[in-house]
Amino acid sequence: MSVAGDLGERKIIEIIIEKLEKMPGMILPFWDDASAVEIGGGNVAVIKTDMLVGKVDVPPGMTPWHAARKAVVMNVSDLVAKGAKPIALLASLGFPSDYKTTGIEQVGLGLNAGAREYGAYVIGGDTSEASDLIISCMMFGVCRKKELIFRSGAKPGDILAVTNWFGKTAAGLKIILEGLSVPEQLEKELTRSVFMPKARLKEGLSLANSRTASAAIDSSDGLALCLHELSKRSNVGFSLDVVPVAPEVKRFAKLFRLDSRELALYGGEEYELVVTIKPGKWRLAKQVVKNAGGNLIKIGYATEERRIVLKTRKGEIPIDALGWEHFKR
Amino acid sequence: MSVAGDLGERKIIEIIIEKLEKMPGMILPFWDDASAVEIGGGNVAVIKTDMLVGKVDVPPGMTPWHAARKAVVMNVSDLVAKGAKPIALLASLGFPSDYKTTGIEQVGLGLNAGAREYGAYVIGGDTSEASDLIISCMMFGVCRKKELIFRSGAKPGDILAVTNWFGKTAAGLKIILEGLSVPEQLEKELTRSVFMPKARLKEGLSLANSRTASAAIDSSDGLALCLHELSKRSNVGFSLDVVPVAPEVKRFAKLFRLDSRELALYGGEEYELVVTIKPGKWRLAKQVVKNAGGNLIKIGYATEERRIVLKTRKGEIPIDALGWEHFKR
């Protein structure tokens, strides 16, 4: 008889979804970054839950404050990918019975810090005894219905772009988990990405407000998996001119003879936006994101043919649907 | 150094809340059954998260289906106590890696059954590996702002009422956990209350729509604790003419020489509404709840003096603030 550990996260979600009656007129499909409900006045409520589990999601050296803040960022990022503004957070907290009071205080402070950083407030929650540290957040936000960004809107010819260079979290995790010795400044840069991830609130909202993005996804499952997901939902392919590797990751990869592109493509736990921009709107998109204090990096374009490839001087290299998944042994 | 197990659930929540910046104009205070956010058009979104943990909340004999359904009911009940209609559910699920696929299927079916039973749909969620079965639900609902029911609205002279007789869950849990031998029909009645709890949707909505209730609370922490909570928030006391003991609980208590009133007052895990009704609105309240297919049982009234007492022929008996709390060893 099969068990959760054999199935992997995606298969488990499939099994659950198969048992659910679908809400009539459901605005965002299952599998999207977040869910949406009509609330009148041309607005939708966008809601999301994402759970952080101590033994799975908290690497050594990450404090309860950082873990709680990260649990908030995970949820903010999903709302932002839809173009929704986070407003209120609920948190269900599970603590082992020997969890220290100082840790509980830090969790409270970290939740508050994460919410306030993105303009939201913690307004409720629940707590229970559990074997692991559990921080299950639920973020509530609002979006103009016509500004909601779907995963399914990319068209061939759209420009593929991202909000930052990738691979720092993968490199940072390698340093932490494998105890690699790295020059201090580089280590700081790379591990900061693990401990202090950022969600792209201003970037997401400015893309939504300007209606320049045809599709978007949050990159937390890894850049490669996100491209495959956008491809599947929009029925397009992607041709990449470049893998957006962070310069620090290139230096790190050189030190340990790793493939920097693999770190950027298959790492995960980076809360960037992967977006497609309507061709006529590229300059506007670039401008509004810049005005908001962010950056939009063009990495390729959407294609008719449903393949995901990187163009190099030696020809096309397929980008596989590999990434980080809970449960997978 | 103190740890979670020494603190108890209430103290942990206190510690967390102390660290949070309060949302300006927060509609429902921390500690209420649910939280609320303005969404325009005279409406508020009412949201709630409540987490079920396998090792804490699932007694022997309870299937994953029943556990998942119960996790939904817990959240529905909190919305209903505010007068809000449940619309959409998110579920964060944690499964141990050896959790069986059939169990996962049952969790999906149970979530769906619980949501549909109260007119809502499951529209999203998350899953992760965890040491315990974790079912953290978040319910989203909507309420007319002027119909929202607070814990703080009870006035001296208001009628105190409940939506059902109490004590079945406490008796049922005793049967299950202590392996008591009870006549079959009685056992069925009492354990059903544990495995198949009901939330009082129609009762809550009809009280909200008719604006007959001055205050309400969901009784899941136990009748006695709820009375103390209403008392604290409304700054009133309560004088009870009767403890609403279910007839099956009286029979059960007689068999084992237990105090049936204690089972009804201090049990918890019953998802009834404890409400106060404006004196001139009692007949209307009773009628609208009856029309909705429910029952409203008068058990006493609110008093100026902030004591909670049961009136008996031998005088007044104080009702203590005892109940069921997570973490308490």
B227-271: per-residue pLDDT in tens? 999 999 999 999 999 999 999 999 999 999 999 999 999 988 999
DSSP assignments along B62-77, one per residue: --HHHHHHHHHHHHHH
Tell me, yes or no, if B121 comes closer than 8 A to chain A by beta carbon: yes
Q: Domain A4-147, what fold? A: 60s Ribosomal Protein L30; Chain: A; (3.30.1330)
**Facing residue for B15 by CB, picked from A20, A41, A108:** A108
CATH 3.90.650.10 location in chain A: 159-318
Q: What is the pLDDT of residues B199-238, one digit of tens each?
A: 999 999 999 999 999 999 999 999 999 999 999 999 999 9
Say whether pLDDT at B324 is over 60.
no
Mean pLDDT of A309-329: 78
Say whether pLDDT at A324 is over 90.
no
Alpha-carbon distance of B7 to B15, in angstroms, equals 10
Extended strands (E) in chain B: 35-40, 43-53, 85-95, 121-129, 134-144, 159-162, 213-218, 237-240, 273-277, 297-303, 308-312, 315-318
Tell me, yes or no, if A31 comes closer than 8 A to chain B by beta carbon: no
**A98 contacts A63 by C-beta, under 8 angstroms:** no
Extended strands (E) in A12-80: 35-40, 43-53
Q: What is the DSSP letter of B242?
A: -
**Facing residue for B49 by CB, picked from A116, A126, A129:** A126
**B110 contacts B175 by C-beta, under 8 angstroms:** no
Residue B268 is predicted with a pLDDT of 87
Identity (one letter) of the amino acid at B304? E
Note the helical H segments in B133-246.
168-178, 184-195, 201-210, 223-234
Q: Which of A227, A213, A218 is nearest to A286 (CA)?
A: A213
With an 8 Å Cβ cutoff, are A49 and B140 in contact?
Answer: no
With an 8 Å Cβ cutoff, are A95 and B12 in contact?
Answer: yes
Residues of B with CB below 8 A from A125's CB?
Answer: 13, 16, 49
Q: Which two tokens stand for residue A62?
A: 């990450």
**A191 contacts A56 by C-beta, under 8 angstroms:** no
Q: Domain A159-318, what fold? A: Phosphoribosyl-aminoimidazole Synthetase; Chain A, domain 2 (3.90.650)
Mean pLDDT of B183-190: 97
CATH 3.30.1330.10 location in chain A: 4-147
Residue A326 is predicted with a pLDDT of 46
Say whether pLDDT at B292 is over 80.
yes
pTM of the predicted model as reported, rounded to 2 decimal places: 0.95
Which H or E run contains B57? helix B54-57
Say whether pLDDT at B326 is over 70.
no
Distance between B138 CA and the closest CA of chain A, angstroms: 7
Q: Which two tokens stand for residue B58?
A: 């699932």
- Structure ipTM over 0.90, yes or no: yes
**Cα A175–chain centre separation:** 21
Question: What percent of chain B lies above the pLDDT cut of 70?
Answer: 98
